[in-house]
A and B are shown apart, each in its own frame.
Chain A
Amino acid sequence: MLNIHRDICGYCGACVSVCPEGALELIDAYLTVSSLCMNCGLCAQVCPLGALEVTDEE
């Protein structure tokens, strides 16, 4: 699953538009991830801060 480290996230939205599934949304200062997420990790790579992490957890 996709883990959002909220203490690192700068709610900039760089991740939102690289998501091929459209699973991410930035609502004001809060990043949301929907069930459409396929754990591809593109968002984790593009994040300027390293706030996103794909983990093995279900």
Chain B
Amino acid sequence: MKSEYDLLVIGGGPGGAIAARTAAEAGLSVCLVEKRPAIGAPVRCAEGIGKKLLHEFIEPDERWIASDIRRARIIAPDGTAVSLEESMAGSEVGYVIERKIFDRELVWNAAEAGSDVFVKTRASAPIMEGGTITGAIIESCGETRRVHADVTIAADGVESKFARWCGINTTVPLREMMTCAQYLLTNIDIDQTCTDFYLGNYVAPEGYLWIFPKGRRSANVGIGISGRKSTEGNRAKDRLDRFVKERFPEGKIIEYIIGGDPVCEPLDCTVADGLMIIGDAARVVDPLTGGGIYNSMFTGRLAAGVAAKCISGGLCSRERLMEYDETWRRSEMGRVLERNYRIKEFFITLSDHHMNTLAKSLASITLSDFSVKTLVKELTKRNPALLMKLNELKTTLN
């Protein structure tokens, strides 16, 4: 490990890996550190990603595509199922991937592009010079080093600490931290091409329970609920256990996955002097789906591009790095985040009765264009009883 780099990336998930690769390809000297001893493990993810979104970054490879999904089903509390075919659900339907292999591939690409990579190596504090972040104290297998960099990218995920150490408030409100548990179940009978989402205040309050197929007779079966709905005996794992016992009594658990998913609004500002924050650490998770892989890669690539420009210009102040913050907020991803946050805030106010009524109306509609806007329009037209509730949503979408 050198003591000086152009760019230091903290965290070896998809966001950090894409940032490191992009920067190395732009000719920067790059150091990527990952605190865990292995890239991609332990998994903290339901492993679903939209097809179109993924293609923007990497060609699908059978080594890490576990399932090719053709439709998604949303199951209301009373069991009414709404089926979304691939042709109309667009980016909502996609692949279920093997994060262990996928993440490794992305870091391998970064390394191949010229980035240094260190595992079981973590940042324990920022190096600050007159308010500017100029690198980090790095602990690697018992040794402490000072690593300087023109720009440091915090890609340290949901449990991110680096930005906070730099004085940025990254606290996630309890109600907006989804507390999640998931099993990789085998020996179960499922439709390999369909993802299921179970809604309802009994099954998964303010969240959902999912079944994401992972190849033959296996699936990620998991649940995410709001932190404020997590109580003794009704935690994410308790709820998941009850569902699995009833639905998949024959299932065998071969992996136990837990984690938190921040569904709050993004950080107020994702840059500081010498610092950029990306992915889950920047809280750019889709608040409606909880998905974060694409957004991490998108912000990672964008941050590295802006960093390269600022480094070659010789100035990496907050003002210069703001181009990154402004660009992602204006992007399609930024707009979807904003819109989906409002939809999420609307959905968590729905009672099970409302959800059942909505699902029943939806199940009878055939839409060629399954966009959120068309959907809301159609529903308002067909369901006067829900008009008041939906109008709240419609107003937020205009």
A residues with a Cβ closer than 8 A to B are: 10-20, 22, 25-29, 42, 45-50
Contact = CB atoms under 8 A, between A and B. Distances in A.
B120 to A, nearest CB: 7
B177 A10 contact: no
A17 B227 contact: no
For chain B, give the interface size range: 35 or more
A18 B158 contact: no
B259 interface: yes
24 contacts: A13-B157, A13-B158, A14-B177, A14-B179, A16-B161, A17-B158, A17-B260, A17-B262, A18-B227, A26-B159, A27-B122, A28-B120, A29-B36, A42-B227, A45-B227, A45-B231, A46-B227, A46-B230, A47-B230, A47-B235, A48-B180, A48-B181, A48-B230, A49-B181
Contacts of B235: 47-50
Contacts of A18: 171-174, 177, 227, 260
A50 B172 contact: no
B35 to A, nearest CB: 6
A46 B237 contact: no
Given A13-B157, A16-B161, A17-B159, A48 B44 contact: no
Contact of B258 (A12, A19, A22): A12
Given A17-B160, A19-B171, A10 B256 contact: yes
Looking at A25, A27, A46, which has the most chain B CB atoms within 10 Å of its CB? A46
Contacts of A48: 179-181, 230, 235-237, 258-260
Nearest to A25: B161
Given A17-B160, A46-B230, A48-B237, A12 B174 contact: no
Interface of B: 35-37, 42, 44, 120, 122, 157-161, 164, 170-174, 177, 179-181, 227-228, 230-232, 235-237, 256, 258-260, 262
Given A12-B260, A17-B158, A50-B237, 4 more contacts: A10-B256, A13-B259, A25-B161, A48-B237
Interface SS of chain A: loop
A46 B258 contact: no
B285 to A, nearest CB: 12
Contacts of B122: 27-28
Contacts of A15: 260
Looking at A13, A17, A29, which has the most chain B CB atoms within 10 Å of its CB? A17
Contacts of A46: 174, 177, 179, 227, 230, 260
Contacts of A16: 158-161, 260
A15 B161 CA distance: 12
B260 A13 contact: yes
A29 B258 CA distance: 13
A14 B174 contact: no
Contacts of A50: 232, 235, 237
Contacts of A11: 42
Contacts of A47: 179, 230, 235
Contacts of A29: 36
A50 B256 CA distance: 15
A22 B160 CA distance: 10
A7 B228 CA distance: 24
B161 A22 contact: yes
Looking at A14, A46, A49, which has the most chain B CB atoms within 10 Å of its CB? A14
